[in-house]
């Protein structure tokens, strides 16, 4: 019988064929400045007119060499579905690309033996392509990680045996050629190179398991393996509190000074925490079961009076945060985004994110809660013409805000807490302005209603003390759509579920004499004669950097009608008269110099770092004691972006502590209160 020919070798995978082709092209680039000369020759082959005529809307084509060395299928941009960042994590970093700006540097084949750490090369942070191939390099200094905009790096044909782990910071790399070196292993830190399409490894004595993985499944499979198996880095130093009052001012405060502490945190909802959007994060660190434990631990560790969370989906709120924070003594108010009301698929509805405001139930009584659906409020305005822009830009968004009114159970002081998550897309900065302006107006209306309520604690009627917590009428809520001049409802119109837990308790009542004795030891509740006297805390993810229209409006209370952020669109009185507000807000982290905010970043991803989250406060009724400081800068400089194993969201938790300024007309107290109400975290 015929034995036949031996079985032929299995065909090479297409991605490995492409790698071998790129390897041959690189091997033919040994001569000095080969790429630069080839590019120059290619540009000379095109006849140029005396006056060049170009299409200003056409992106410049890369030279032929780069076309051959680039993968034909670029990574999909994640902008469309990313809900929180100003710039999506895998969006290409902004880089000027004018005709006079060169972004490629060819130093190949020129006999470079050494790159010192202080080389001026590492200051060329604008570079997109760097060729150091076919030199005599034995090592690459870690300082190369400063070239964050590199998309193509060729280190082929050198004498490299190792690579610095810091090169994992070059997150924009798409093509990384290491052909024909003496490299035996790849640092696990390279797992953060989530945009890398080709890691050229041919011609190296690599560990067989690594080479087999690349040969069989390609570069993305190797990057995923390195990412998920990378050792956990050293955790950062704890964030320090930044006191904003001097020790002398602290000592001079009356012992009865009331404080309010607030946490604000965009926790990154489950549906947005994907490997496609956060390819630099280990997949196990993106899992909700892992992240939720870190989130809960952090917010509970601060012990804040109020916790304002954004991107909380229905499932996370009902199945996790509600239970654990209730056990810790918090009550809450929660609403998902508007689309949740119209969704027939229950499973999809439960993953719609929204806003949650938790408050210490032993310290504060909820008086009113109000949902602000921006599209619905905009539709009701007579001055907003129903134009195409209104329907396509404003009314098509389902973003919301919430505002709650509280009274301190012990002192009777009032406070309003607003929570918001503004649209992220920078192409809709006009919509951001409209949403914030609508929110401010609704907060002002609520303050005007709130001030009309009489003091709820310990009112005297015909000489008798009536106890608000232990038996008087409870005014827990009044209609947020009612006229500000209309009287609040009576307790008989309120459901029992809106009453505080103490009024539903089965414990035996105390005697009138004991209640009267307890009341005489407490300060009289303040009397508010103006809506501007009620303390306001307005926090959230505003997706707006300092200097934006939103920031300028909230920090100054005014904005010109022709502000560039309106983008030429017409929005009734907003663009006819400009924006105005009497709230008198300031950012808790505001600073005079060198930057407008004390924190350098609240949102940190591979392609963006900046301040998007704020805790605004009414400066006439509150002052800042302290704010939670920045993330350890040494740690963050070695970190590609959040989330990661130590930070469970792409945003960081921000926190501030305030002291309450009593209304000027009612500053007196009983003088018998010998403790400060609240908790000062930095003392």
**How far is it, in rounded angstroms, from Cα 407 to Cα 456?**
8
Q: Which residues contact 19 (CB under 8 A, 6 or more apart)?
A: 198, 200, 201, 202, 214
**How far is it, in rounded angstroms, from Cα 598 to Cα 596?**
7
Catalytic annotation, residues: 541
Judge contact between 638 and 287, C-beta under 8 A: no
3-state secondary structure 453-511: CCCCCCCEECCEECCCCCCCCCCCCCCCCCCCCCCCCCHHHCCHHHCCHHHHCCCCCCC
Q: What is the CA radius of gyration of the chain?
A: 31
Where do the H-state alpha helices sit in 308-428?
Answer: 314-316, 322-327, 346-349, 374-380, 388-389
**How far is it, in rounded angstroms, from Cα 682 to Cα 677?**
15
Sign of the CA dihedral with 512 first, then 514, 517, and 518 last: negative
Taken as a whole, the chain contains a residue count of: 683
For the record, the structure tokens of 460 come out as 């005297």
Closest of 268, 298, 348, 346 to residue 85, by C-alpha: 268
Q: Which residues contact 572 (CB under 8 A, 6 or more apart)?
A: 381, 382, 383, 384, 385
152-154 and 175-177: which strand pairing?
parallel
For the record, the structure tokens of 273 come out as 């925490």
Beta bridge partners of 61: none
**How far is it, in rounded angstroms, from Cα 46 to Cα 463?**
98
Sign of the CA dihedral with 192 first, then 281, 16, and 198 last: negative
Name residue, tokens 């308790």.
Answer: 505
């Amino acid at each position: 019988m015929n034995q036949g020919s031996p079985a032929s070798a299995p065909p090479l995978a297409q991605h490995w064929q492409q790698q071998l082709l790129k390897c041959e092209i690189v091997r033919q680039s040994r001569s000095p400045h080969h790429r630069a000369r080839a590019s120059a020759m290619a540009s000379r082959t095109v006849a140029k007119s005396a006056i060049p005529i170009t299409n200003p809307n056409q992106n410049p084509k890369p030279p032929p060499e780069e076309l051959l060395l680039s993968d034909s299928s670029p990574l999909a941009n994640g902008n469309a579905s990313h809900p929180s960042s100003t710039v999506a994590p895998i969006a290409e970093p902004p880089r000027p690309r004018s005709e006079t700006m060169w972004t490629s540097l060819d130093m190949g084949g020129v006999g470079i033996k050494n790159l010192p750490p202080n080389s001026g090369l590492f200051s060329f942070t604008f570079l997109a392509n760097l060729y150091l191939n076919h030199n005599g390099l034995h090592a690459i200094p870690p300082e190369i990680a400063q070239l964050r905009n590199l998309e193509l790096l060729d280190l082929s044909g050198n004498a490299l045996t190792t690579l610095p782990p810091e090169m994992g910071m070059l997150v924009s790399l798409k093509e990384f050629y290491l052909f024909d070196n003496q490299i035996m292993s790849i640092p696990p830190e390279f797992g953060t190179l989530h945009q890398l399409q080709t890691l050229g490894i041919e011609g190296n004595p690599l560990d067989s398991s690594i080479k087999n993985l690349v040969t069989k499944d390609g570069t993305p499979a190797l990057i995923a393996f390195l990412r998920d198996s990378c050792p956990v880095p050293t955790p950062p130093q704890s964030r320090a509190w930044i006191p904003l009052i001097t020790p002398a001012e602290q000592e001079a405060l009356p012992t009865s000074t009331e404080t309010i502490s607030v946490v604000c945190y965009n926790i990154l909802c489950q549906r947005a925490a994907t490997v496609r959007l956060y390819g630099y994060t280990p997949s196990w660190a993106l899992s909700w079961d892992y992240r939720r434990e870190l989130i809960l631990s952090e917010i509970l560790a601060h012990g804040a009076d109020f916790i304002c969370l954004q991107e909380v989906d229905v499932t996370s709120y009902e199945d996790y945060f509600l239970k654990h924070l209730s056990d810790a003594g918090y009550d809450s108010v929660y609403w998902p985004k508007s689309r949740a009301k119209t969704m027939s698929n229950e499973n999809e509805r439960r993953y719609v994110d929204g806003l949650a405001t938790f408050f210490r139930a032993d310290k504060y009584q909820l008086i009113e809660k109000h949902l602000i659906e921006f599209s619905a409020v905009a539709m009701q305005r007579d001055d907003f013409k129903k134009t195409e822009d209104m329907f396509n830009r404003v009314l098509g968004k389902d973003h919301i805000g919430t505002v709650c009114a509280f009274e301190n159970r012990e002192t009777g002081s009032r406070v309003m807490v607003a929570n918001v998550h503004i649209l992220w897309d920078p192409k809709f900065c006009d919509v951001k302005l409209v949403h914030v302006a609508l929110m401010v107006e609704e907060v002002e209306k609520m303050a005007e209603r709130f001030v009309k309520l009489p003091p709820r604690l310990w009112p005297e009627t015909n000489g008798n003390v009536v106890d608000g917590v232990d038996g008087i009428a409870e005014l827990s809520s009044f209609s947020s759509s009612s006229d500000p001049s209309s009287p609040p409802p009576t307790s008989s119109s309120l459901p029992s579920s809106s009453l505080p837990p103490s009024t539903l308790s089965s414990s035996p009542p105390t005697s009138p004499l004991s209640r009267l004795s307890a009341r005489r030891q407490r300060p009289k509740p303040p009397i508010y004669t103006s809506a501007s006297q009620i303390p306001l805390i307005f926090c959230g993810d505003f997706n707006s950097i300092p200097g934006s229209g939103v920031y300028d409006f909230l920090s100054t209370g005014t904005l010109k009608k022709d502000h560039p952020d309106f983008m030429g669109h017409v929005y009734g009185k907003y663009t006819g008269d400009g924006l105005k507000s009497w709230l008198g807000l300031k950012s808790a982290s505001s600073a005079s110099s060198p930057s407008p905010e004390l924190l350098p970043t609240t949102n940190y991803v591979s392609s963006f770092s900046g301040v998007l989250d704020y805790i605004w406060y009414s400066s006439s009724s509150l002052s800042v004691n302290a704010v939670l400081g920045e993330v350890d800068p040494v740690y963050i400089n070695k970190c590609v972006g959040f989330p990661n194993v130590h930070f469970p969201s792409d945003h960081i938790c921000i926190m501030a502590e305030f002291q309450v300024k009593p209304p000027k007309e009612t500053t007196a107290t009983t003088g018998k209160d010998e403790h400060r109400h609240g908790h000062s975290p930095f003392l």
